[in-house]
């Protein structure tokens, strides 16, 4: 498949100066991030804007300080509240599916703010991100990090993720980091024509499912087996 030429991964309008100040040293350095990007390239994440966003985003800020040295391993990590920060490959795969739609990412809905890392990636690609989280302390912690990084195009809500954000619909893209038994109809209804949705689906066995809304109906993609936290109803203060 060949090796990636990092010089071809053009920077986006980010990083902000705050990104540059948070680059880290040692196991959290840019060199460590570049090794991760090279690995993702080999595994099939090839969209330049997605790789650019992931290359500059300081993932170590979104995990506990004790786990910072593992932040650029291609693995999920715990973030508390029985939640995890997703494996970088899965973040790349889901974001790439949305970015390959061929239409600009205007408004994007994220179901499950979690650590805020996926939010940071989306915020660099979209005009605006509307992120919903059911666990209030998680979103509060994520918002503090995202604000520090100068990502000011993000809107936050504590809510049941299956409801989406109807007032801000339609969305050019929808991404969920929680797995329902079936895709909620409410989310499909909030997807704009030409837009894409990506989310894990299933309980004991999960598949990463992509949906594209066409004038002729919905086109479904099976992106492979995954393991995410289940989508739960209600909110936790």
Q: Where are the domains of the chain?
A: 14-230
Count CB neighbours of 99 within 10 A. 23
- The catalytic site residues sit at 86
Average pLDDT, the chain: 90
Angle at Cα 46 formed by Cα 42 and Cα 50, nearest 5°? 120
Per DSSP, 160 falls in state -
Distances (CA, A) of 132 to 14, 110, 149: 23, 6, 19
Predicted pLDDT at 10: 53
* Single pTM value for the model: 0.91
- At the topology level, CATH places domain 14-230 in Rossmann fold (3.40.50)
pLDDT by residue (tens digit) across 111-160?
999 999 999 999 999 999 999 999 999 999 999 999 999 999 999 999 99
Confidence of residue 18 (pLDDT cuts 50, 70, 90): confident
């Amino acid at each position: 498949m060949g090796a990636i030429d990092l010089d071809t991964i053009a920077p986006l309008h980010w990083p902000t100066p705050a990104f540059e100040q948070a680059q880290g040293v040692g196991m959290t350095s840019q060199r460590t991030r570049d090794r991760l990007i090279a690995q993702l390239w080999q595994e099939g994440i090839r969209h330049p804007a997605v790789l650019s966003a992931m290359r500059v985003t300081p993932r170590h800020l979104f995990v506990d300080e004790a786990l910072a040295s593992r932040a650029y391993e291609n693995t999920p990590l715990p973030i508390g509240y029985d939640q995890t920060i997703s494996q970088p490959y899965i973040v790349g795969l889901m974001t790439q599916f949305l970015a390959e739609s061929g239409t600009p990412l205007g408004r994007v809905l994220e179901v499950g703010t979690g650590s805020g890392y996926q939010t940071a990636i989306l915020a660099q690609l979209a005009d605006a991100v509307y992120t919903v989280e059911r666990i209030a302390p998680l979103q509060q912690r994520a918002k503090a990090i995202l604000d520090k990084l100068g990502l000011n195009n993000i809107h936050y809500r504590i809510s049941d993720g299956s409801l989406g954000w109807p007032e801000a619909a339609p969305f050019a893209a929808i991404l969920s980091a929680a797995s329902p038994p079936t895709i909620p109809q409410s989310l499909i209804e909030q997807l704009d024509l030409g837009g894409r949705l990506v989310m894990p689906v299933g309980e004991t066995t999960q598949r990463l499912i992509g949906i594209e809304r066409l004038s002729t109906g919905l086109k479904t993609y099976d992106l492979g087996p995954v393991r995410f936290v289940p989508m739960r109803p209600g909110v936790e203060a």
